[in-house]
Amino acid sequence: MAQPAPQLNAGNIDDVLKAMTLEEKAQLLVGDGNDGFIGSGAMLGHQAKLVAGAAGQTVAIKRLGIPATVVSDGPAGIHIDPIRKGTSQTFYATGFPIGTCLASTWNPQLVYQVGRAMGEEGLEYGVDVILGPGMNIQRNPLGGRNFEYYSEDPLLNGTIGAAMVNGIQSMGIGTSPKHFAVNSQETDRTRVDERVSQRALREIYLRGFEKMVREAQPWTVMSSYNKINGVYSQGNHDLLTTVLRDEWGFKGIVMTDWIGERDDLPVADEVHAGNDLMMPGYPVQTKDIIDGVKSGKIDIKDVDRNVRKMLEYIVKTPSFRKYKFTNNPDLKGHAAVTRQTSAEGMVLLQNRGGVLPIRNLKTVALFGVNSYDFLSGGLGSGCVNVPYVVDMVQGLKNIGVATTPALTDIYEKYVPYAKAKLAADKNPEMWFLNQGQPKLDEIDITDRLTRHEAQQADAAIITLGRQSGEGIDREVSEFNITEKEREMISHVSDIFHSQGKPVIVILNSGWSMETASWRDRVDAILVAWEPGEEGGNSVADVLTGKVCPSGHLTATWPVSIGDDPSTANFPQQPDYYGLTDKFARGALKGVNYSNHDEDIFVGYRYYDTFHKTVAYPFGFGLSYTTFAFSGLKVKKQGNDVVVSVSVKNTGRTAGKQVAQVYVTAPKGNLEKPAKELKAFAKTKELRPGQSETLTMTIPVRDLASFDSADSQWIVEPGTYAFLVGDNVENIAEVTGLTLDKYTEKVNNALPLKASLNLLHR
């Protein structure tokens, strides 16, 4: 008599693997996107059938007790359909702050709490894996998905990424940090060849992922659409096996980003590379695996290795545990988490004459369409279907501050009109721009009205909004401010200042904007980012001093786009559809391929080393109080360097401060950036006069540079300067430590094939 088929459990993976047919194995390695979006008109990232609107799911094999598992976007909250057929129940998800706002808190403990809240929400909505966090390096200010990512710096990226992964996974569901790796641009993202030196790959683009993998062991990782040095990430054995698994010890599964069969990448390469799961998954891929094994193009050992990893993943999931999700997550509790976190991630760029916080504020004139249509998050798969967005009017009202009636009335009538117009105008092909809250056009406000408003209000607030999203990079004109915005800033400032009333600008943008040409006209500038559904409340908390700002920039804000060394190789005119025919040729610089000529000099590593003026340096952020650093101590302890510094609140308001530790390496064989961030820590809220000693541990290997010639990490011997400050340009204390040579051999992986014109000091 035939044996009954084994039913999967954590202890019988070998038996299940043995019992599986080739067809079943192949099915498990390909997602259940069988309806497919291509040709069906469905949107990318909406393939799941078990949880409506989730991005996809894996195949169930009932015979062996293998359940389907559900994966859902994305970095700022759970992306599912809020309204479903046949039920009056709603399934809204909390809109958490975008990645850049989270990282701007420089507070991993807080990000961990956000992760827990997001994890609870995923768990209770029936999701097994959240497709995030987004961990690509913010290479250039025009990157369309920068808002989903954390930083231009790998240490900050890895630390915040690890906190998020640990937070989400502590709730018993998985994560998929993405897009591994070097998804630096959206233009031609599924084919662009990112040409990067091995050194820049190791030190900049992979290092954050490495830290996160070592510290948080995500259940899954998502490979990126692009190529790296001529090889697709999803078919890249060096990337997915040699580096990710053999060197870093990654134990989970790798899934592709949402693409079907690729005409120039055999499925055999993907299976061999260690890309375990093809998402969203098409029957043709299953067939390719079966045929590949039969014809000998695919080694069954590779298939078995990947299937085993899939089974190891599946037994961890809530679906396998038959977790009874409630569809009733703690939305109220999570709203409080997002309100607190986004307030802590907001960055105060300017506060002339200490106009902020505004005490005794009664009435405000609110300018700018985004004051009334506050942008909570970005566009594309990373957007969240939120239950509400607190705009500036509501946020101020909630703390007892009124807005001037005439102006409010005009904008509040305009917003629904502009939204209806935009909806009617929608281009269905631009699916990524149709997911989320698009930016509405500004309107003209006359001087006469502004004068009238100035008489009624105690202050003017101008909100400048910027939107961006998946699938399209930003244009230079979106970094710059428009003529209409410039006029609004000038007129409002002239009129309000003539009456002795302050003008405050709120930047409601996922990414950096040009500020140098207009900042002198206004008193205060607060970067609110796209802070999630509670945005207006968080801004009000900061403006009125309920929260003392403690956010710091996680990327340099340049004076102009042309200042950035990566701009020369970045798409300048990201007309996704207009360029389609040129994509086919594969030879368009900055579109089909991107030379990372700036090498390791990304962000502040460039501006600081080459002494270039910036609008705001990396790490910058003002507070309502002042702090002093003292007693910087650095000592070697085993394989670590331990840094401690005392931070004192020397001002008159309670607040938190971030100690940023930069290191300048001694002159050696390899050239080095002038400074690199090697540790950071944030104080608790310090009362005026109160001090806290922060202690940070830096593993010696974190001080190493990558020596491509010998495929090794190397700390060259000599005296290292340890600098502490509150941004890369504002260093308060310095001390030295002499270190011996340290090396760590790794594999010669991801070799550069093109010849680049690398930047040198």
Closer residue to ligand BGC (CB): 55 or 204? 55
Distances (CA, A) of 366 to 403, 408, 416, 593, 749: 7, 7, 17, 44, 54
C-alpha to C-alpha distance for 176 and 56, rounded to whole angstroms: 13
Handedness of CA 493, 494, 497, 501 (dihedral sign): negative
Query: 273: number of CA atoms within 13 Å, CB side?
Result: 25
d(CA 727, CA 603): 13
Secondary structure letter of residue 30 according to DSSP: B
Cis before 280? omega within 30: yes
Q: How far is the CB of 83 from ligand BGC (least distance, A)?
A: 19
CB of 258 to ligand BGC, least distance (A): 4
Residue that has been written with the tokens 């909390």 in this structure: 94
Residue closer to ligand BGC by CB (options 133, 590) is 133
Q: What SS3 class is residue 61?
A: strand
| Least distance between ligand BGC and beta carbon 44 (Å) | 5
The distance of closest approach from Cβ of residue 279 to ligand BGC in the complex, given in angstroms and rounded to an integer, is 7
Q: Which residues of 433-448 are buried (b: 16+ CB within 10 A; e: fewer)?
A: bbbbbbbbebeebeee
**What are residue 278's phi and psi, to 5 degrees?**
-100, 120
Residues 91-150 that bind ligand BGC (CB under 6 A): 131
Q: Work out which of 91, 92, 96, 258 binds ligand BGC, going by CB under 6 A.
A: 258
Tokens of residue 71, six digits:
């994966």
The verdict on 74 binding ligand BGC (CB under 6 A) reads yes
| Amino acid identity for residue 499 in this structure | Q
Site for ligand BGC in 415-474 (CB under 6 A): 470
- Which tokens sit at 694? 């922060």
> Closest-CB residue for ligand BGC?
45
Return the closest-CA partner of residue 212 out of 151, 135, 270. 135
Among 33, 45, 141, 510, binds ligand BGC (CB under 6 A): 45
Residue 706: CB minimum distance to ligand BGC, A: 28
* Strand, coil or helix: 214: helix
Closest-CA residue to 656 (of 624, 633, 630, 680): 624
- Rounded to 5 degrees, φ, ψ at 39 are 85, -20
Q: How far is the CB of 511 from ligand BGC (least distance, A)?
A: 17
55 makes contact with ligand BGC (CB under 6 A)? yes
Binder to ligand BGC among 25, 178, 466, 678 (CB under 6 A)? Answer: 178
- Which residues have CB under 8 Å from 339's CB, separation 6+? 534, 537, 538, 541
Of 380-409, binders to ligand BGC (CB under 6 A) are 381
Closest approach, Cβ 132 to ligand BGC, in A, equals: 8
Q: What whole-number distance in Å separates Cα of residue 386 and Cα of residue 93?
A: 5
CB half-sphere exposure, 462, CA atoms < 13 A: 29
Interactions with ligand BGC, residue window 677-736 (CB under 6 A): none
Residues 6+ positions from 687 with CB-CB distance below 8 Å? 649, 654
Q: How far is the CB of 222 from ligand BGC (least distance, A)?
A: 6
Which listed residue (8, 17, 28, 44) binds ligand BGC by CB under 6 A?
44
Residue 360 burial class via C-beta count within 10 angstroms: exposed 0-12, middle 13-18, buried 19 and up = exposed
Of the two residues 74 and 536, which places its CB atom closer to ligand BGC in the complex? 74
236 binds ligand BGC (CB under 6 A): no
Whether the Cβ atoms of residue 453 and residue 407 lie closer than 8 Å to each other: yes
Distance (Å, rounded) from C-alpha 744 to C-alpha 740?
A: 13
Which residue number, 381 or 550, has a Cβ lying nearer to ligand BGC? 381
Nearer to ligand BGC, 108 or 281 (CB): 281
Nearer of residues 381 and 649 to ligand BGC, judged by Cβ: 381
Q: Which one of the listed residues 257, 288, 302, 564 is annotated catalytic? A: 257
Q: Which two tokens stand for residue 505?
A: 């600008």
Q: Which of 49/308 has CB closer to ligand BGC?
A: 49
Select 178 or 491, whichever has its Cβ closest to ligand BGC: 178
Chain residues 728-747 in contact with ligand BGC, contact rule CB under 6 A:
none
Closest contact distance (angstroms) between CB of 284 and ligand BGC is 19
* Cα 211 → chain centroid: 16
Number of residues that bind ligand BGC (CB under 6 A): 11
For ligand BGC, give the closer residue by CB, 344 or 470.
470
User: Quick one: 378 or 558, whose CB is closer to ligand BGC?
Assistant: 378
The residue within the footprint of ligand BGC, chosen from 120, 194, 238, 257 (CB under 6 A), is 257
Q: Is 238 known to be catalytic?
A: no
Q: How far is the CB of 472 from ligand BGC (least distance, A)?
A: 12
The 3 state secondary structure assigned to 496-548 is HHHCCCCEEEEEEECCCCCCCCCHHHCCEEEECCCCCCCHHHHHHHHHCCCCC
Q: What CA–CA distance (Å, rounded) separates 550 from 234?
A: 39
Q: Are strands 70-73 and 56-57 parallel, antiparallel or unpaired?
A: antiparallel
User: Which residues are identified as catalytic?
Assistant: 257
Residue ranges binding ligand BGC (CB under 6 A): 44-45, 55, 73-74, 131, 178, 257-258, 381, 470
